[in-house]
Amino acid sequence: MYELRLDFAEHKTAALIEAGRTPTLLLRDFLQRFPARAAAPIPPAWLDLPLSSFRLIPVSLGPLAVQALSAQPQAVPVPPKPAGTPAYAPQAFPTTLTDSEAVARAYAGEISKIGRYLSNDLSVLVVCDKVLAEYIYRHAVAQSNKRPLLESDSENSDQLLLQRDMLTPAVRIAGLSRLLAGIKSDQVLVVRHLDTLAGSGEGPLSTDARMLTEVLYRSQESIPTILGFIDPSLGLPKVIVDRFAVRVELAGLSRDAIPYLLTRAERERFAHFEAETLFKNVSGYNAIQLRNVMRYLLANSQPTTPTPRLMALIREFKRGSGDDVEIPDVTFADIGGYEEVKTELFEAIELITGKRPPFSLEGEPEPTEHLPPPAESDAERTRRRKLAPRGFIFHGPPGTGKTLFAKAIANAMNATIQVVSGPEIMDMWVGKSESNLRRLFSIARRNAPAVIFFDEFDSIATQRSGLGEGGSRASNAVVAQLLSEIDGFRPDQDLLVIGTTNRLDIIDEALLRPSRLQPIHIALPDQATRRKIAAIHARGFEAPLLSPDLLDLIAAQSEGFNGDEIRAIFQEIARQIRRGVTITTEVYTQQIEAIRRRRR
């Protein structure tokens, strides 16, 4: 339930009575009947929610609040929606949208909370991407009825700005000390780069962190109000975090905010605007990153472009963002057999995305027009996501297609995938392995929907021990970090963790809980599966003499082969054709026998 502070003036009593009498009335219609002034910007997405979604708090806004309200991008009362206007019609979008306005719209609720905390003299620590800090502090302080006091406001500010790169943390901390000594009751000290002053939260306190701690905890008649910012990828010592009364974290964007961060020209690029599809492709991005994506899309597309083409442009932009992600092209049509495994995976994909993959159990694509996305309420979406798994552990012999399954899942989810070898995570330095894991999951959240695929999963997820020696402590810390990341999935982001192992028995039991990773056994293919795998590779390598009888022969004679060994048969046949060898049934038999001898 959202808090909504409104000044109804003389209509206060009538408005509250009506709100209690008609909880299903939309906020838009309610504000048209009872015009009011809002203490904070009202997110556009709230206007189409019923009154039962809000806790109305009547307030009396003073002159400062009136002045602040006049500067807000969202005015109250709200103009009515034109009759017959479809959802997300182009005329409902603004003609221009600055980055500052985008941040105000995207994080209106959080900015309002920060402003209220500051107005009550409570220090706030904001965890957000660096690019947001400048906009967040301006909007939040404006709503607090206080004045911002910046680090650059200390003596010789111009000189400090010019020489900022040359300043040591000690000099900057000394500047903060001077500001805190002279701060007024109607001022907020804004520290936009608190994390670069204090260092990481790992290990003992550095000299700079000790100095900063002394400055922040200095005894004064009244406790100064501080607004500090740290980046999610950087740590902060606990003693400094505890100086702040409130911690607010801004991560990604909410599903409802996405459609209101586009301009009219950007909306017109979509032949059919699908807010859900756009959200899944930009989930994890902050408001500024989304605006960059939309500028790229606007510059590289034409009006009424089909949605799949626009989503391909977004994925192209992600590839140029510097993150080590892959857009897979493997589909379930490339995997023969394994109907039971596919059934389980299809159900999981449907629970995660809300749409069934466009493939049959035989691996053949199904026409997408026969699979319209079902209409789904928020309550139904919440129930569905409660059933969705956090990830899978594929276990079984080598060469059975575990990596192919991971890439096919990512493709069906229209997701990016990071393929990581387990040993790549481990590092000799204390804390570095956990940092590597945090970075992987941070990249996945920015590129959601995303799949993180750990090959050789047992190298980082072995059972934790009670031994006190360094190797065991490091391994235990990695498992703990992995559990923390998996449990920290946001429900509105499509993230999936997949690991492969030949040793399920040594995986930590906490990871195998039903609410975390679901084990799926991928065994060696049986004869029917081997025949389907052979048919796929025969078509892929354009093998000669292809007939049902030849496929039956290969399936019967390749007992105990994995999928990769069946592929090797046709790969060698293609090489012999390239050398001019005449291919007969005996040549196929010879290749099968050669692989069997190699295995022995």
| 376 assigned to some structural domain | yes
In a shared domain, residues 480 and 366: yes
CATH number at residue 451: 3.40.50.300
9 in the Ramachandran plot: left (φ > 0), alpha (ψ -120 to 50) or beta? left
Task: Give 207-212's long-range contacts (Cβ < 8 A, gap of 24+).
Answer: 207/170, 208/169, 208/170, 208/173, 209/237, 209/239, 209/240, 211/170, 211/173, 212/169, 212/173, 212/176, 212/240
Task: Look at the chain and report how many structural domains it folds into.
Answer: 5
Angle (CA) 53 257 279, round 5°: 120
Give 435-447 as a 3 state SS string: HHHHHHHHHHHHC
In a shared domain, residues 165 and 302: no
Residue 433 pLDDT more than 70?
Answer: yes
Residue 520 CA to residue 341 CA, distance in Å, equals: 7
Whose CA is closest to 501, among 534, 460, 532, 442? 460
Provide the pLDDT for residue 272.
Answer: 85
| 113 assigned to some structural domain | yes
List, edge to edge, every strand of the sheet that includes 37-38. 37-38, 2-7, 54-58
Residue 289 CA to residue 296 CA, distance in Å, equals: 11
Mutual angle of helices 548-557 and 585-599, in 10-degree steps: 20
Q: Where are the alpha helices (DSSP H) in 153-206?
A: 157-162, 169-182, 194-198
In a shared domain, residues 123 and 217: yes
76 in the Ramachandran plot: left (φ > 0), alpha (ψ -120 to 50) or beta? beta
- Count Cβ atoms below 10 Å from residue 521 Cβ, excluding itself: 12
Task: Provide, rounded to the nearest whole percent, the portion of the chain with pLDDT above 70.
Answer: 82
Residue 225 pLDDT more than 60?
Answer: yes
| Whole-prediction pTM | 0.61
In whole angstroms, what separates CA 559 from the centre of its chain?
Answer: 44
| 126 assigned to some structural domain | yes
In a shared domain, residues 459 and 365: yes
Provide the pLDDT for residue 83.
Answer: 45
Provide the pLDDT for residue 84.
Answer: 45
The DSSP 8-state label assigned to residue 242 in this structure reads: T
List, edge to edge, every strand of the sheet that includes 416-421. 416-421, 450-455, 495-501, 391-395, 517-521
Residue 562 CA to residue 338 CA, distance in Å, equals: 12
Residues written for the chain: 600
| 491 assigned to some structural domain | yes
Over residues 35-46, the pLDDT tens digits come to: 888 877 777 767
- Count Cβ atoms below 10 Å from residue 223 Cβ, excluding itself: 13
17-26, 80-89, 359-368, range with the lowest pLDDT: 80-89
Q: Beta-strand (E) ranges in 29-180? A: 37-38, 54-58, 124-127, 147-150
171-185, 304-318, 467-481, range with the lowest pLDDT: 467-481
Residue 530 CA to residue 532 CA, distance in Å, equals: 5
In a shared domain, residues 270 and 242: no
List, edge to edge, every strand of the sheet that includes 246-249. 147-150, 187-191, 226-230, 124-127, 246-249
Residue 25 belongs to domain spanning: 2-81
In a shared domain, residues 122 and 242: yes
Over residues 558-568, the pLDDT tens digits come to: 888 888 888 88
Radius of gyration of the chain (CA): 29
Which band of pLDDT confidence, cut at 50, 70 and 90, is reported for residue 48? confident
Average pLDDT, the chain: 78
Residue 155 CA to residue 175 CA, distance in Å, equals: 8
In a shared domain, residues 495 and 353: yes
Mean pLDDT of 282-290: 83
In a shared domain, residues 482 and 575: no
| 89 assigned to some structural domain | no
- Count Cβ atoms below 10 Å from residue 382 Cβ, excluding itself: 12
Query: What is the amino acid identity at position 173?
Result: I
| 120 assigned to some structural domain | yes
In a shared domain, residues 158 and 214: yes
Mean pLDDT of 407-430: 75
Give the end of a domain, one of 191, 215, 249.
249
In whole angstroms, what separates CA 305 from the centre of its chain?
Answer: 26
- Residues forming beta bridges with residue 454, ordered by sequence position: 420, 499
Residue 40 CA to residue 3 CA, distance in Å, equals: 10
In a shared domain, residues 437 and 579: no
Contact 298, 326 (CB under 8 A): no
- Count Cβ atoms below 10 Å from residue 229 Cβ, excluding itself: 23
Q: Where are the alpha helices (DSSP H) in 354-469?
A: 378-387, 402-412, 422-425, 432-446
Q: Beta-strand (E) ranges in 282-342? A: none
Residue 224 pLDDT more than 80?
Answer: yes
Contacts of 108 (CB under 8 A, 6+ apart): 40, 41, 42, 43, 74
CATH number at residue 584: 1.10.8
- Given 3-state DSSP classes, what are the helix, strand and coil percentages for the chain, each rounded to the nearest 5? 50, 10, 35
In a shared domain, residues 148 and 226: yes
Give the end of a domain, one of 481, 499, 517.
499
Contacts of 370 (CB under 8 A, 6+ apart): none
In a shared domain, residues 549 and 584: yes
Residue 397 CA to residue 562 CA, distance in Å, equals: 8
Query: What is the amino acid identity at position 194?
Result: L
Mean pLDDT of 527-535: 88
Contact 263, 96 (CB under 8 A): yes
| 161 assigned to some structural domain | yes
Residue 68 pLDDT more than 70?
Answer: no
Residue 370 CA to residue 131 CA, distance in Å, equals: 43
